[in-house]
Chains A and B, each alone.
Chain A
Amino acid sequence: MSDKKRVSRRQFLNYTLTGVGGFMAAGMLAPMVRFAIDPVLKTKEGGDFVSVASVDELTNEPQRFEWTIDQVDAWYESEVQKTAWVYRNENDEIVALSPICTHLGCTVDWASNEEYPNQFFCPCHAGRYTKDGTNVPGTPPTAPLPRFEFKVEEGMLYLGETKDSGGGV
């Protein structure tokens, strides 16, 4: 009786070889499947984040960082250059502002006007923003500079989409 329950040498070899072979096949197929369905697995929250700078580079003074993204519209795919002004505020939080003037879309510069050394200045129509991106009343812009969504991973700063800071002055 006990003989029947015993696994024969042939059976044992069969089981082991199938098992090991199955593992190997799975090991080869898994990355392929993962690769094939990759677009489905991609997280969608807030679009793609792009690594822009090392966190160590950031100072209290806004610095200009540039990177490129691939932009696809209905007719063609193009490489678009993006820019951000990034600094640490007094609470040591990272602030990443879009340089696009909310008035008519010129590119604003930090401290480029000698009279306003602590403000963002738009060369087109003398629009001004304070360091936190709030538009200065009495100048053409009616909304603050948009902020980039960001995350920090392994010492690198990643920037995503901009979102309106809301509440124009």
Chain B
Amino acid sequence: MRWTKADTTQYIPEKQYIDTVIIPLIPFDPGNDQHMVKQAFQRELNQVFTNLIEKEYKGRIFLAPDYYYLEGSQADEKERINRWIHKFKEQPFHHVFLFTFDSKWKKYEGELEGHVLWVPGMGSGDIQSTETQSFVREQAHQISDLIQAYW
């Protein structure tokens, strides 16, 4: 399920079946030329990943709107994330996963009310290349296994 009109309409009467939410955590820093390209690539990769997982498990996983934050502001952001998670849990979603390539979240995992799914990702590359595609497929498959272990 996605945050679209069609999917949310389908979600509401069936919410007992859809108990898992994935929130993509995407850092960016528009003031930094050095990191801009890499961050933009990570954002694309993050969307490809989460869309792939959502497609495969549409009937049980809800893909939340992307959570954007300024790079390196984890200490300030953890409150805001927890507010998001509380809202989702009111639905009720039982499993909240935070999907990110930003390893800094690992340090704050204990203070967050969802499971951090940190994936090393790729530093750079071509989103269309077959190499990236097979990497994403393989990783997405393993992440799905991990999520299923919580069900």
Contacts and interface: CB of A to CB of B under 8 A. Distances in A.
Interface of A: 101, 103-107, 122-125, 140
A112 to B, nearest CB: 11
Chain B interface size band reads 10 to 19
A104 B56 contact: no
Interface string B1-38: 00000000010001001100000000000000000000
Contacts, number: 33
B55 interface: yes
Nearest to B14: A104
Interface of B: 10, 14, 17-18, 55-60, 144, 148
B116 to A, nearest CB: 23
24 contacts: A101-B59, A103-B59, A104-B18, A104-B59, A104-B60, A105-B58, A105-B59, A106-B56, A106-B57, A106-B58, A106-B59, A106-B60, A107-B55, A107-B56, A107-B57, A107-B58, A122-B59, A123-B144, A123-B148, A124-B17, A124-B57, A125-B17, A125-B59, A125-B60
Contacts of A105: 58-59
B58 A104 contact: yes
Contact of B17 (A104, A107, A123): A104
Contacts of B56: 106-107
